[in-house]
Structure 1
Amino acid sequence: MSSVSLSAVAYQRILQCMLDHSLSGDRRISESELARKLGISRTPIREAICRLESEGFLYQVVGSGTYIARPDRKRLLDAFDVREALECQAVVRATKRMSVKERTELKLQCDNMHAAISALRDSGEKVMTGDALKQFLVSDLKFHLLLLRAANNQFAMKIVTDSRIRDYVFGDSTHERTLRHLAWVWLLHARVSREVQRKNARKAQYWMRKHIRQSRNDALVALQKSRTTETPRQPAPPELTNLLQSVCEELAVIGTPASESLE
């Protein structure tokens, strides 16, 4: 295997370790330790670390070492600004382009989210966890990917996928998944879906913008909470990382972070 290929493999595996939080917090990144753990020589590990630094996942402290970047308010706001611009435009195009089959699939993802919420309500638990949470989060992601794919803009899809990866690495999506919070999230998705079914692009865009802005506000609250309390960040469920992996493979032609599979 070439040095370039080994560097790509090292990049994928280090990023996966950050997604599942086996690498997290203020822990110093050790090239030698990663080389032993991943079974890859230090040169590709070093190249992968440099790439992750350039993408904002890692940072260096002179005389100390390399560390995983902490959640940052400006980065979060910038990411949501980009998502709002891209996804609000994408939903307009998708509304005009989606087939009956795609519209049915979009509604199915909303129904799956609702089923997860119903399971939480019936359980009597205060916060969604386990299989119900996996179902909710995967259906949420599939909903957005359906719209982006229907809009037929691979670059927008790649950027949003990159943003989702960063959410799970930095913990920006670690909200308290209460019934009230999730019901509101589902309702906004359902309203987007309803207007897509009606082929009303203007209203679909309105509800998408409202959803993304609400998600931004929720992420800001979660970020503030993480700075004042020791709330552990939850790893991304394997089902989510597998879905992100399939999108990465689909977008491999673009050749940037989200364009390489996460093993």
Structure 2
Amino acid sequence: MHETLQAKAYRIIKARLISGEDPQGARISDFALSRQLGISRAPIREAMNRLISERLLVQKAGLGVFVPKPTREEIENLYEVREWLELGALEVVVPGLPVEAISEMQKSCDAIRLMADELEQTGTCLERGKSFARLGEADSTFHLTIMRSTQNSLLLELIQGNRVLEQVWDFGVRIYSADVLHRICDEHIGILEAIKREDLDASRAALREHIRLGRDITLRRFAEESEEALPVS
């Protein structure tokens, strides 16, 4: 299927936002993007307007279009909505999550564990950017598999939009060590094991703790960056 110029521009700009290539507060110029991507300004403007409607970009009157810098309240609201949606999905799929879905979630856990092992062996860390894609894909697979299993397309659309906002608004860990990836994997396995036992209460508790830990890390980093931005008296 042929990809329109607007769709191509949307895909590329969105990927740049998720990877952090265009950081929070950065001004997004349709003229600069047109030159960089070799696409005329009209489809780029259309793509930018779509991203504005999805809250991934923000229009400031008289100033231009920028990557948003969320407030503490917006971050708290984002994680609160995520918790409602994902815990609600568990109510639908536990018990009775299909074997295929459980297998897919296990594969995502295995992928994250493999990445953690690779970091240990090489003594390196995973930095936010293009190399982040593997982790983001594995993490999304785990969570979105639960949502898809509800067979509720609106619910899936809402959580997908929520997760993209979470990545673009990320104030959390920018460098992931092997220990961080092992922790994420351990938390996912705890959720999955409870689902396998068809223990709704335990799976909800494990998922709630997982989401809130991510929220707390993000809010802590937000506070640190806010303090760094304060002028020196």
Same structural fold, with TM-score higher than 0.5 when normalized by the shorter chain: yes
Unaligned runs of 5+ in 2: none
CA–CA separation in structure 2 for the residues paired with 1:11 and 1:124: 36
Residue 251 of structure 1 corresponds to which residue in structure 2?
none
| 1:187 alignment counterpart | 186
Partner of 2:61: 62
SS at 1:151's partner residue?
coil
Give the C-alpha shift of residue 144 in structure 1. Answer: 0.9
Distance in 1 (alpha carbons) for counterparts of 2:12 and 2:69? 20
Distance 1:32 1:189, change over 3 A: same
Cα contact 2:127–2:175 (8 A) shared by 1: no
**Residue 207 (structure 1) aligns with:** 206
Code of the aligned partner of 2:160: T
Report the Cα distance in structure 2 between the residues aligned to 1:149 and 1:12, rounded to whole angstroms. Answer: 22
Residues 133-212 of structure 1: pairs in structure 2 closer than 5 A: 135-212=134-211
Quote the Cα distance in structure 2 between the aligned partners of 1:37 and 1:134: 22
Deviation, structure 1 residue 217 = 0.8
2:25–2:67 contact (8 Å) kept in structure 1:
yes
User: Alpha-carbon deviations, 1:110-164, whole Å to 9, x = none?
Assistant: 2332333333344445x44599965544322211121111122222222222122
Is the alpha carbon distance of 1:54 and 1:145 closer, same or farther for their aligned partners in structure 2, counting shifts above 3 Å? Answer: closer
Q: 1:84, 1:209 within 8 Å by CA — same for their partners in 2?
A: yes
Decide which moves more: 68-77 or 78-87: 68-77
Question: Larger deviation: 16-25 or 87-96?
Answer: 16-25
Question: Which whole-Å deviations, capped at 9, do the CAs of 1:23-54 have from their partners, x for residues lacking one?
Answer: 33433332333333334433333333333333
The match for 2:89 is: 90
Q: Structure 1 pair 33/116, CA: closer, same or farther in 2 (3 Å)?
A: closer
Aligned length: 225
Matched, 1:46 2:45: yes
Identity %: 26
Q: Distance in 2 between matches of 1:128 and 1:24?
A: 18
Task: Classify 1:132/1:186 alpha carbon distance in 2 versus 1 (closer, same or farther; 3 Å).
Answer: farther
Structure 1 pair 176/8, CA: closer, same or farther in 2 (3 Å)? closer
In structure 1, the residue matched to 2:103 is 104
Distance in 2, matches of 1:120 and 1:9, equals 33
State the one-letter code of the partner of 1:34: L
Q: 1:17 corresponds to which residue?
A: 16
Shift of 1:199: 1.3
> Quick check: 65-74 or 190-199, which moved more?
65-74
Task: Note if contact 2:116-2:179 (Cα within 8 Å) is conserved in structure 1.
Answer: no
Task: With the length of structure 1 as denominator, give the TM-score of the two structures.
Answer: 0.71
Normalised by the size of structure 2, how large is the TM-score? 0.79
Higher mean alpha-carbon deviation, 191-200 vs 39-48, is at 39-48
Cα distance in 2 between the residues matched to 1:13 and 1:133: 16
